Each structure stands twice: as structure tokens, then as C-alpha cells.
Amino acid sequence: MSIFYFIIQQTMIFSIPLLVVALGALFSERSGVTNIAMEGIMILGAFAGVLFMKYVQPILPGQPVFILSLLVAGITGMIVSLLHAYASINMNADQTISGTAINTFAPAFAIYTARIIQQVQQVSFINQFQIKEVPILSKIPILGGMFFKNAYISTYIGVLILVVSWFLLYKTKFGLRLRACGEFPQAADSVGVNVYKIRYAGVIISGLLGGMGGLIFVVPTSVNFNASVAGYGFLAIAVLIFGQWKPMKIFFAAIFFGLMKTLASAYSTIPFMVALNIPTNFYKMAPYIATIIVLIFTSKNSQAPKACGTPYDKEQR
């Protein structure tokens, strides 16, 4: 049973950053702007967050510094995403260009800045954020062991973001307008929706969540930040497509992928999987192969936002 709890806890560590970042990209793409800059946004968000954490931790230990760092990471992500928004919304540029530029810029800038500030490129922090047991809730049978022991506060924040995203997208006027801008912006414009403003909002939300997601990824898996989020930004885009641009499906896609990742990295603790005698690298491949197989059966009716990737041109109305 303890192995089962361990797997669930680990799955959360892999899944939540994917979920948060994919939800970020969701807002951008549902508004009609492709955002392959998520990797770069994650890197700069995590960088700013960890740097803040490093210097504030001695003064303010415990969970508050984590939450403040998440805010710093999110705001940094928003600032970076403005670059993407300006190029793809105001300048009608090809949306992969500024995304690629940001992905190239982010790790270079993080290393450059780290070297100026503290001579070495790795930014270290003290990981004091694991919650051994959440009071009361951890006493719930089964569920307590799964979700309320050895957890990170970011897990709950991630779930909260999921609920808020779903509500925002499907239950508010803003969400309806955002989706309209991604499907048929000319129609949205004809009824008085400012397509440019809505798309800006979409991209900025993606920056906020991307930056936070970067830090959420780094904190439980490491004690220093080395200008990389190991391709998780690209994986998050894969999760977004896998989840058919819908919040709940993205949630399941992220959990599926996180679970596969966990099984791949922790299989040596599971007697039955060791007994199978499959080489480590095949376990590592499994999440990616499984994703492809699932996609083969689910992609026939792709739900991609129709106007995603095309700059809005008023004259095409």
C-alpha cells in the first residue's frame, strides 16, 4: 500500500506543472495565438522565482516564501509573454517566430544574469516546502495517504487553477469571448469584441501560468536551478493537444502522462515491474510511446481552435 501512495504522490509532482503550463497555453491558443514559447516562459519564471526564493528564504522561511516566489515567477512570465503578444498580435508576425526567439533567449538570459549576480550559473535554494502531513485531511482513509501526505502546496494551487480556468472559460462572458476569438475572430469583432484585447489577455494568462508552472516544476524535483526545465514546456504543449484544448481533458492527459513518468522513474520500487525485467530505457520511453498510441485513436476529430496561429486581420471580415 505504501508503494501505491508513493506512486500517487510522485505522479502529482510530475503532473501538476504539466497541468498548470498546459492550462496556460490553453488560454493563449483558445484566444487564437499559438504559444510555443512556454518552455522559455517556464525557464524565466522559474529563474526569477528561485532567485527571489534564494534571497528571501533566510528572512522569511516556510510556505509563505514559496507562495511569494510563485507570484514573482508568474509576474515574470507575464512580462515575457508580452513580447510574444506584441509580435503576434500587434505586428501580425508568424507566431512560431517570437516563440522560438523567446525559447532561445530564456536559458541564455538566465545563465547570463545568474553569472552577473552570483558568479555561478546554478541558483540554489533550500527545499523546505514538502508538507509531511496536512492537518485533519491526512487522517482521511486512503485519500489522506494519496493527496495529503508528503505533498506540496503547489499541488493544491494547481487544482485550484484548473477549477478557476474551467469556470473562467465556460461560465463567464470573458471565456465566451476568448473562445470566439480563437474560433472566428471576425464574428467576435462584428459584435463589438475587441479581438486584440482578448488575445492579449489570453497570452498574458499563459505567461502567468507558464511562469508559475516553471517554479512548480523546479521546486519538488531539485535544490538548484540550472537554466532548464528539461523540455517540460514542450511536453505541456503536447499535453494541451493531447487534452484536445479542453481543461478537464488536459487534466486527465497531465495525470496520465505524470503517472507514466512516475512508473518509468520509480519502477525499481515496484516488485512486479522489476520482475518483468524490461530495460530502464524502455520504461523511460513508455510515456511517450503510450501518448502516441492514445493519440492515434483520439485525433481523428481534432478540436484545435480554428483561428489559432493566424494573425487577426480586420479587413477579412
Partner 1 sequence: MQKKTSNLHAKFNAFVSTEGFKSFASSIMAIIFGLAVGFVMLIFANSKYAFDGLIALLTGGFADGMKSLGNVFYLATPIIMTGLSVGFAFKTGLFNIGGSGQYLVGAFVGIYISATWTFIPSSVLWIVALAGSALAGALWAFVPGLLKATRNVNEVITAIMMNYIGVYLVNHLIPLSPIYDSTRNQTVPPRSYIPRAGLDLIFPDSSISASILIAIACVVIVYIVLNKTTFGYELKACGYNQNAGKYAGINEKKCIILSMVIAGALSGLAGGLAHLANTGKYISVVDVLPQDGFDGIAVALLGLSNPGGIFLAGTFIAYLRQGGFFMQRYGYVTEVINIIIATIIYCSAFSAAFKNILTKIKSKKNNKEQKKVAGEEK
Nearer to partner 1, 6 or 288 (CB): 288
Compute the least distance from the CB of residue 245 to partner 1, in Å: 11
Residue 317 to residue 313: CA distance in whole angstroms: 8
Spatial separation of the C-alpha atoms in residues 227 and 233, rounded to whole Å? 13
Single out the residue of 31, 19, 17 nearest to residue 73, CA to CA: 17
Of 168 and 295, the one with the shorter C-beta distance to partner 1 is: 295
Separation of CA 15 from chain center: 9
Dist CA 216 CA 302 (whole Å): 29
CA 191 to chain CA centroid, Å, is: 33
Contact footprint for partner 1 (CB under 8 A):
36, 83, 87-88, 91-94, 96-98, 100-105, 107-109, 111-112, 115-116, 231, 234-235, 237-238, 241-242, 279-282, 284-285, 288-289, 291-292, 295-296, 299-302, 304
Specify the amino acid at residue 131: I
- Min dist CB 185 to partner 1, Å, is 18
For the bound state, the minimum distance from the C-beta of residue 313 to partner 1, rounded and expressed in Å, comes to 12
Q: How far is the CB of 259 from partner 1 (least distance, A)?
A: 16
Nearer to partner 1, 2 or 316 (CB): 316
Minimum distance from residue 23 beta carbon to partner 1 (Å): 17
**CB 129, min distance to partner 1, A:** 25
Contact between 76 and 49 under an 8 Å Cβ cutoff? The reply is yes
Side chain identity, residue 32 = G
Nearest distance from C-beta of residue 92 to partner 1, angstroms:
6
- Kindly tell me which of 131 and 294 has the beta carbon lying closer to partner 1: 294
Q: Could you give the CA distance from residue 129 to residue 196 in angstroms, rounded to a whole number? A: 40
Three-class SS string for 154-178? HHHHHHHHHHHHHHHHHHCHHHHHH
> Which lies closer to partner 1 via its Cβ, residue 109 or residue 156?
109
In this structure, what is the dihedral angle of CA atoms 284, 259, 257, 44, given to the nearest 10 degrees?
A: -90
Longest dimension (CA), the chain: 64
